[in-house]
Structure 1
Amino acid sequence: MLFVGKGGVGKTTLAAATAVALSEQGKRVLIVSTDQAHSLADAFGSAGDTGNGEIWTVTPGLDALHINALDLVERKWRDIITSVAGLGSEHRHGVEWFGLEPEELTGVPGVEELLALGEVARYAEGEDWDVVVVDCAPTAETLRLVALPESVMAYVDRVWPQNRRLQAMSEDSLAGIAAGILDQLTQHTRQLRDLLTGDSTLVRLVVTPERIVFEETRRTVTAMSLLGMILDRVIANRVLVAYDRSGNVTAPTSRNDDPIHRWYRDRVSEQVAVIDELTSALGDIPLLTVGYAATEPVGVAALGDLARNVENLGLVRTPLASGSPDDARRRRAADCQVEHESGTGLNSVYLMRLTLPLVDPRSIRLGRIDDDLVVGAAGIKRRVPLAPVLRRCVVAGAEITGSELRVRFQPNPEVWPQW
C-alpha cells in the first residue's frame, strides 16, 4: 500500500495511522519510508537510532524501516565488486572496477530510486508481513520512481537489444559481463513494474482541500492511471468544521464580522467546494476526510485514535474478483480496450479506449514508436503495446470523451493484407 502526496499534507501521519490500525486488526505490518527526509520515527515517537537502514519494532505486529539510499547503493555496489573480483584479474579487461566509489553512483539518475523500489519489493514478496505500507517521497518524485522501471527497460532494449545481450553473455569478454549486469537490471525492473501495477498494490493519495492542490490532484490521478496503478482511495486531510461562537456546528455561510471568524468561514467554504468537486470528479473512487486536529497526533496511541475516527482508513480491499465492477474499472485504468467500430477491409475503423480520469485534454500527447502507441498526459509518458490488428494501421484521430481517451485507427494500405 503506497501513500503518496505533496510534501506537508500529512502523508506520513496517515500512513503511520493506517499501519497502526492494520496491526490492531491482527495483521503483521511493515511500514517503510522511501522519503530521504525520514519522519516515521517522529510520527511514532520512537527514540534512538532508527535511520540506520535496520528494521525496528514499534509494537508487536508492527515494524518500521527507513531506507537509507546511500547505504543501499554502497551495499549493492560492493556485491557487484565481489562478483567481479571472483572472476580473476584476467576477466577484468582493463576496467578499474575498484576505482569507482559507491558515492559516485548516486549521481546517476534513478539509481537510488530504483534500489529503494527493489527493497520495498523484496519485503512485499516475503512472508514475514501481511501488509507493507510505504510512506513515499513527494508526489513528483514518486511518479518518476514508478515510471522508472518501464523507462529503464525501454532504454536498455533500444540501446542494446536482448538478442544481442544474450549473444554477448556467451562470450568471455567485458561485453559479456556488462550484458549479464544489464540483463539482471531489466529483469529486476520488469518485476518491479509488475508489482507496482498488480492487483496486490494499492495507492492512497493524500491531499488537503485547497484549490491549488485540487489541480495537482487532477494531474496525479491521471498520471497514476496512465502508469497502470490502482488508486484505492483519496484522503482529504486537515478538513475544518464550521462553528458559531457558542461552539455549535453551523453552515459555512453564517454572517459574522469578526475577522478571525470571517477567515475561518471563508476557508471552510473553500474546503467544502473543493471536496464537493473532488467527490464528483473521482466518481467511484472513495474520498475520505480527516479533521484538522488541534495538535499533531504523535505516538501509537494517538495514531490509533486518529485511525478509529476516520471511517475505512484501516480497510484493505481484498484482491478483486474477476468480473466485478471494481475489477472492470481497474482493468480499464491499467489496460486499453480495442474494438472494431465500423467498415470492412481498408475502410475499417478500429477504436482503442484508455481510461484517463480527471485528464486535462490540453495535456494529451500521442506518438508512435514501432508497434507501440506513446501516450503522454500530466507530465507522464507510457508506451502502450498495440494489439496485433492495430500494428498494421495508422492513427486516424483521437478525442477525449469524459474520462476516456479514444484513438481511432484505419488500415495502412501498404501493409494491410488484401485478397
Structure 2
Amino acid sequence: MQTLLITGPGGAGKTTVAAATALAAAREGRRVLLLTDAPHVQEDDRLTVARVDSGQEFRDELVALQERGSAVLGMVGARPLTAEELTELPGAEEFALLRAIRRAATAPAPGTDLVVVDLPPLHRAVATLSLPAQLRRYLARLLPAERQAARALRPVLAQLAGVPMPAQWLYETAARWDEELAAVQAVVEADTTEIRLVAEPGPTAAEALRLGRLGLALQELPVSSVVANRLLPQGSADPWLAGLAAQQEKHTAEWAAELPVVPLAHLGRDPHSPQDLALLAETEGLAPRPPAPRSGWVVEDRRAEDGVLVWEVPLPGARKSELDLIRRGDELLLTAGPYRRIVPLPSVLRRCSVSGAALADGVLRIRFTPDPGLWPRTP
C-alpha cells in the first residue's frame, strides 16, 4: 500500500491539494484514505476521510498510562487525573498524527491501496517526521537494553522491599513506546511512502522549499514531486498580473529542473466547495504514480585509488556555509541549515577517522581514512 505525505509552506494550499489529490486518485479507481481536517471533502465508495482528534488521543493515552502506573502513583501519594480535566499539551497534535499514519498504513480499511496525509506546514512536518527516530535514540540512551536485562530480578526485589519497583514500570513503558515508535518509523521510511510538496511559486516559497527539502533529505526522506499551486494564466492584459504570472513561470521552471512539477491553476477564488475540489482533481498528473525505490546514503570504497572511504550524503539545495559535522564516537552530528541530525555510522566507517568533506552538486561527500590499528593488513 502506498502512503503519500503532503506538506508545504503555511498558506500554500496544502490541505486543498491533499483533498484534490485523494479525489483524483479515487477517480482513477484506487481506494483512498485521506487523513485531513479539511471540512469540504465528500466521501464516496472509493474515498474515505479520517480526521485526527489529538485531544482525545492525548486524554486516552495519559489515562492509560496512569492506569498502568497506578501502583507507582499510589506509592508516592499522587492523585490521578481524570479524562475530563485533561487538556492536550504542545506536541500532542504531532504524536496523534503519527499514530494515525501508523494505523492507516498497518491496519487500513479493506481494499485501501493509497493513504493521503495532510501534514502540518513544512517546517513542522520535518520535525514531526523526524520524531520517531529521535525519540527512539533518546530512549536507547536513557534506558539502554543491557540494563533492561535486569528486569527479571525486579519482581524478587519488589517482594523483599514490600513495594512495587518503579523501574520495572518505567522499562515496560519505555519498551512499549519504543515498539510503537519503531512501527511509525518503519512507515515513514518505507519505500512505499513518498513526500509531495505544495507551494505557490515565488521567491519566499522558493527559499522555504529549499530549506524544507534540505531538512527532509537530512532525515533520508526524499521529495517525489512539487505542486505549483495557484498558477495565474499567461498573457494577461493587466501588467501587474502579467508580471506576477511571469515570476510564477520562472520559479516553476526552476523547480522543474530538479523535481517533477504538477501545475495547478488558480480558480479565481478560494476553493471552498466539493465542486471546487472536483475541478482541481481534474488536473493531469495530480493523482500519484507508484513511488520509485529509495536510494540510501552510499559508502564508496576508494581505498585502492585514494586510501579513503567516501560516504555520500544527498543534500539538495545545501550551501557550504550552512553545513557542519562532528564525529562523536560511533555517531556523526550533521547540521544542515536550521536542521540537525545525529546519525549512527555504518559499521565499516566506525573503524575510520573523518579526514575531510566536500559539497558538490547537492551531495556532501565525507571522507574517512581507515585506522591502521583496526583494519587487517593486506598481504
TM-score using structure 1 length:
0.80
Matched, 1:278 2:261: no
Give me the whole-angstrom Cα distance separating, in 1, the residues matched to 2:174 and 2:87: 16
Q: Structure 2 matches for 1:280-359, cutoff 5 A?
A: 280=257, 282=258, 285-308=259-282, 310-317=283-290, 320=292, 327=293, 330-331=294-295, 335-343=296-304, 348-359=307-318
CA contact (8 A) 1:149 1:193 kept: yes
Q: 1:103 to 1:217 in 2, by over 3 A?
A: farther
Q: Cα offset for 1:368? A: 2.0
CA contact (8 A) 1:340 1:351 kept: yes
Partner of 1:96: 78
CA contact (8 A) 2:22 2:32 kept: yes
Partner of 2:159: none
Q: Cα offset for 1:70? A: 1.3
Q: Which amino acid aligns with 1:154?
A: R
Matched, 1:219 2:211: yes
Q: Residues 265-295 of structure 1: CA distance to partner in whole angstroms, max 9, x if unpaired? A: 2212211221122222x1xx31111111112
Partner of 2:234: 242
CA contact (8 A) 2:229 2:264 kept: yes
Indicate the structure whose relative CO is greater, using CA pairs within 8 Å and at least 6 residues apart.
2
Give me the whole-angstrom Cα distance separating, in 2, the residues matched to 1:181 and 1:374: 28
Question: Could you tell which deviates more after superposition, 122-131 or 181-190?
Answer: 122-131
Q: Which amino acid aligns with 1:28?
A: R
CA contact (8 A) 1:73 1:102 kept: no
Partner of 1:324: none
Aligned residues: 364
Q: 1:239 to 1:154 in 2, by over 3 A?
A: same
Matched, 1:370 2:329: yes
CA RMSD of aligned residues (A): 2.5
Partner of 1:132: 115
Give me the whole-angstrom Cα distance separating, in 2, the residues matched to 1:353 and 1:90: 48
1:98 match: secondary structure: coil
Question: Could you tell which deviates more after superposition, 171-180 or 385-394?
Answer: 385-394
Question: Could you tell which deviates more after superposition, 162-171 or 151-160?
Answer: 162-171
Partner of 2:53: 68
Q: Cα offset for 1:215? A: 0.9
Could you list the runs of 5+ residues in structure 2 that have no partner in the other structure? 156-164
Matched, 1:120 2:101: yes
Give me the whole-angstrom Cα distance separating, in 1, the residues matched to 2:263 and 2:337: 25
Q: Residues 10-65 of structure 1: CA distance to partner in whole angstroms, max 9, x if unpaired? A: 111111111111222232222112xxxx4x11x33x7xxxxxxxxxxx22222212
Q: 1:194 to 1:244 in 2, by over 3 A?
A: closer
Give me the whole-angstrom Cα distance separating, in 2, the residues matched to 1:94 and 1:157: 26
Q: Structure 2 matches for 1:396-407, cutoff 5 A?
A: 396-407=355-366
Partner of 2:161: none
Partner of 1:21: 24
Q: Cα offset for 1:103? A: 6.6
Give me the whole-angstrom Cα distance separating, in 1, the residues matched to 2:356 and 2:181: 33
Give me the whole-angstrom Cα distance separating, in 2, the residues matched to 1:180 and 1:403: 43
CA contact (8 A) 1:233 1:287 kept: yes
1:311 match: secondary structure: coil
Partner of 2:347: 388
Give me the whole-angstrom Cα distance separating, in 2, the residues matched to 1:103 and 1:90: 21
CA contact (8 A) 2:9 2:209 kept: no
